[in-house]
Amino acid sequence: MSDFSVYCPHGPHAFRAVQDGPLHGLRLVYKDLYHVAGYHTGAGNPTWFNEHTAATKTSPVLDALFQAGIYVVGRVQTDELAYSLNGCNVHFGTPINPVTPDRLPGGSSSGSAVAVARGEADVGLGTDTGGSIRVPACYNGLYGIRPTHGRLPTFDMIPLAPCFDTPGWLCRDAKTLERVGEVVFLSPVQQPQNVSFLWADELFAMLPAALQAAVEPIRFASRTIATKTDNWAFPAERLADMSQTFRILQGREITRTHFEWVEPRLNAFAKDIAERFQWAATLTETEETQAKAAQVAWKEEIDAVLEQSFLILPTTPDLAPLRTASDADLADFRMKLLGLTALAGLAGLPQVHLPLVKVNGVPFGCSIIGKRGSDMTLLAIARLFSNVMSEA
């Protein structure tokens, strides 16, 4: 708790709301975007913390976990206002990735991921807008889910871009990920029947050769789980357009949500995040209208693809960047990364990361995207992959 790159100095910390429940025996950390009645929410930025009053209500998602008997370890750090995927915070420091200390932990759910990866919690509650669950899950070797957009409530928490924001969580094992889903979705465990997988072969082909080879055991495992596997013909060059469409829509939402408060306080933010806010404010209504049209077309396309199948794709375009990576390299990596994370984000679809391989000790894996509302089935499929891979 003394590591303020991971844990927030403000709480509440170290308590159990009820003595028993379906999540009794598990430990929780929660991202510093979730409101807890009577406590301040800091959003990873001291100026925000100092200028906002204590919350009057508790996030319903967080409260559902409280009422399920989970033990609350405490509140954990986020990138400032969740507007980054790196896991760096200029005010509190960059958490050490416990699996690969020379690489970034990923964000913005950095504290959630690192606390779980260190074994200090079993469940890391975070949020995902442009990849903030999926990316740190990949970098820290964790299971993570971005749920169907809108399935879980987002009020009583600090937003980034409401049209994309969703709660999500990270765990070291697939069974725990599924147990949390039972509580927050109020849904029983699923037993998938007649599963069909589509592999995004052209997206896997853009990975470095070592990573292409590393995911082959996952491909083999998919054949034992599914009744049918096939290729999804999606050209990798389309990712740049997906990234730009997402960035425009996200940027316009962020400007509407935060820029009135942020603009006179840009010096209170890290340079890269301040520049991102300034860029977002330059976007026009015409650009947004065009991006929305592209989003609608994409939703129709991917909905048709996923009506009978689940899509398997890379979560990230490479291993986690080194902590020594330059700002220019990180910015370039972000553009490639957003192209992949935008596929589910733009369509509001659920996505689960499977941390099933390592390359020279560095975590990697892939993701599965399902149709809207298939969250519990995705969690069950993640469990099946975990079982098959552990038996191999």
Choose the weakest-confidence range: 191-195, 254-258, 375-379: 191-195
Q: Give the C-alpha separation, 181 to 179, whole Å.
A: 5
Closest CA to 33 of 120, 143, 128, 136: 128
pLDDT at 322: 98
Dump pLDDT digits (tens) for 327-354: 999 999 999 999 999 999 999 999 999 9
Helices (H), 86-230: 110-117, 134-140, 174-184, 201-204, 209-214, 216-225
d(CA 4, CA 380): 35
The yes-or-no verdict on residue 219 having pLDDT over 80 is yes
A 10 A CB-CB count for 185 gives: 17
Amino acid in the structure at residue 165: D
Average pLDDT of 240-254? 98
What pLDDT does residue 392 have? 62
Q: What type of residue sits at position 123?
A: V
Mean pLDDT along residues 132-160: 98
Cα 382 to Cα 367: distance, rounded to the nearest angstrom: 9
Q: What is the pLDDT of residues 281-315, one digit of tens each?
A: 999 999 999 999 999 999 999 999 999 999 999 99
The 3-state DSSP class for residue 17 equals coil
Question: pLDDT grade, residue 391 (50/70/90)?
Answer: confident
Phi, psi dihedrals of residue 258, rounded to the nearest 5°: -125, -20
Gap between the Cα atoms of 379 and 360, Å rounded: 27
* Residues taking part in catalysis: 31, 108, 132
- What mean pLDDT value characterizes the chain? 97
Determine which helix (DSSP H) or strand (DSSP E) holds 132, and give its type and residue range: none
Q: How far apart are CA 250 and CA 114, in angstroms?
A: 26
What H or E segment, with its residue span, contains residue 58? none
Q: Quote the pTM value.
A: 0.97
CB atoms within 10 A of CB 378: 28
Q: Above 80 in pLDDT, residue 1?
A: no
Segment 88-108 shows an average pLDDT of: 98
Q: Is the pLDDT of residue 134 over 90?
A: yes
Q: Answer yes or no: are the C-beta atoms of 354 and 313 closer than 8 Å.
A: no
Go through 60-94 and write b for each residue having 16 or more CB atoms within 10 A of its CB, e for each that does not. ebbbbbbebbbbbbbbbbbbbbbbbbbbbbbbbeb
Single-letter amino acid code for the residue at 307: E
Assigned token pair, 275? 């520049």
Using CA atoms, how far apart are residues 273 and 79, in angstroms rounded to an integer? 9
Looking at per-residue confidence, does 389 or 391 come out higher?
Answer: 389
Neighbours of 35 (CB within 10 A): 20
Task: Identify the helix (H) or strand (E) that includes residue 121.
Answer: none
Query: Which among 159, 148, 143, 155 is positioned nearest to 63, based on CA atoms?
Result: 155
Phi/psi-derived region of residue 156, left when phi > 0, alpha when psi is between -120 and 50, beta in every other case: left
Contact 44, 82 (CB under 8 A): yes
Model pLDDT, residue 2: 87
